[in-house]
Structure 1
Amino acid sequence: MSPVEVRQAQWLRGVLDLAVLALLAESGESYGYLISQQLAESGLGEVKGGTLYPLLNRLEEAGLLNSAWRAGDGGPGRKFYEISGGGRRLLAEHAPQWTAFAGAATTVVQRGMREAALSG
């Protein structure tokens, strides 16, 4: 992994649970591979199954997601996930906190970038 990829993976760990809950709140329900694609399309990068599926299991065990197996159309079945009432409450409580934190971090980094450009 490159240093940039390592840094992005660290950032993603801090917000992945909220991002998954937010995607499921928006879509209603989804399955692992599609959630991974949606995260990548959102600009959060590739989330491998070894990271995503344990996270989905933890969220389900915590009562934040519900799941159901469904037969596939000519293929294997899929486990579909949807956000639970508890997941919606957690998202409503924690998303504003994350947004404030991310905004503050962005402000600090942007100030530093301006100073570095001025003195460089």
Structure 2
Amino acid sequence: MNERSQLLKGILEGCILAIISRETVYGYELAVKLQQQGIDVKEGSIYPLLLRLQKEKLIHGEMRASDSGPNRKYYTLTSAGEASLEAFRQNWNSLKSPVDQLLDRGGS
């Protein structure tokens, strides 16, 4: 596994929760939204994470009819998911600035 994949593995859950907090999405749509943000994740790696998040009751999945093709499972954030996302935001913010400072070649 390359360095980018390792880094992404640690933050992907928070990114997924952030997208779902903004709108109800289905798996493929979620993969597209991540790619639009420059986060290249294979669709197949998202579904196991969605399943785990659902088992942990951070998201809720609901089958709905689709205008084009078979039914799709749409995901929404639960109150536990909102709390988890807020914890992720706080952890991310506490790490982002110090890491940026360390990586900034102009810093001391």
TM-score by length of 1: 0.82
Secondary structure of residue in 2 paired with 1:68 = strand
Residue 38 of structure 1, aligned match among 33, 37, 46: 33
> What CA distance in whole angstroms lies between the structure 2 residues aligned with 1:74 and 1:32?
15
Secondary structure of residue in 1 paired with 2:91 = helix
Residue 109 of structure 1, aligned match among 77, 100, 103: 103
Q: Which has the higher helix share?
A: 1
Query: Aligned residues, how many?
Result: 107
Measure how far apart 1:103 and its partner are: 2.1
Any stretches of 5+ residues in structure 2 without a counterpart?
A: none
The answer as to 2:64 corresponding to 1:70 is: yes
Of stretches 81-90 and 71-80 in structure 1, the one that deviates more from structure 2 is 71-80
Over the matched positions of the two proteins, sequence identity in percent amounts to 31
Any stretches of 5+ residues in structure 1 without a counterpart?
A: 116-120
**Aligned structure 1 segments of 4 or more residues deviating by more than 3 angstroms:** none
* Structure ID, larger Rg: 1
In structure 2, what residue type is equivalent to 1:7? E
Measure how far apart 1:74 and its partner are: 4.1
TM-score by length of 2: 0.90
